[in-house]
Structure 1
């Protein structure tokens, strides 16, 4: 009997900035708010369900303007009793946080944005990632 395989591909419609910063997420959110005149607000954690009855809770901060949405997420799972030690993007374990930019508007300078993030004292590194090339890109669709 012939087997059919269902392949699903999602359109990646956001930019992904990876950040290295050895601080708690609330402190990074506070500094981003201060440096970029944002208003990142803590939202309900994002829950990703995996096979084997495993779930991954990811810290989630959100800032929305009329035209854009900025989301700060932590790469490592939030500590919890039923958590397993996992990352939202396992191939990028060396990055602590990601900023997802949705609905990038015309005139938005992404390079200037990343430079502004790099100016934050405890940010060691910030770089634009190609989200479409990531192996675990499906974990970023929620």
Structure 2
């Protein structure tokens, strides 16, 4: 009897493009600027991306362009959360607030946002998008990221 082996990794294919954005704007302002300059219609999703039992959450905006079979996502890479820090000095315990920073993609800690472009027929021009992003004065810099090089690429599947 022949033994058949099914490799699940063969079915996973990176069919999306990823653009990193360095920008100090709030997420809704950046989404507005992208809508204006790229001709998008990004809208905030009703639920954020939550990881590690609500340890961190990341805002996500989405637009599904059904005419061109393209889904655009703007994802925050930074989550800042204020937590209580308990430590004791001598006889007394003090309660102090500590600001902790979490990243969706830890390999790119300095990136503020990612644009994920899922296109089925590969008709999105990345160079044109990057040129338009560079013309937005509030964006410091933007560049493409190869999804296959990211160790935590599972965080970008939603």
TM-score normalised to the size of structure 2?
Answer: 0.75
2:50 pairs, out of 47, 50, 54, with 47
Aligned length: 133
**RMSD over equivalenced CA pairs, Å:** 2.4
Shift of 1:39: 0.8
Q: Secondary structure at the match of 2:154?
A: helix
Write out aligned runs for 1:1-142 (5 A): 9=9, 10-43=12-45, 44-49=47-52, 53=53, 55-66=55-66, 67-77=69-79, 79=81, 85-103=101-119, 105-142=121-158
TM-score normalised to the size of structure 1?
Answer: 0.83
Which of the pair is proportionally richer in strand? 2
2:62 and 2:82 map into 1 onto residues whose CA distance is: 22
Q: Which has the larger radius of gyration?
A: 2
Q: Which residue of 2 aligns with 1:3?
A: none
| Structure 2 residue ranges without an equivalent (≥5) | 1-6, 85-98
- For the structure 1 residues 101 and 75, does the alpha-carbon distance in structure 2 shift closer, same or farther, using more than 3 Å as the test? same
- For the structure 1 residues 86 and 21, does the alpha-carbon distance in structure 2 shift closer, same or farther, using more than 3 Å as the test? same
Contact 2:80 2:101 in 1 (8 A): no
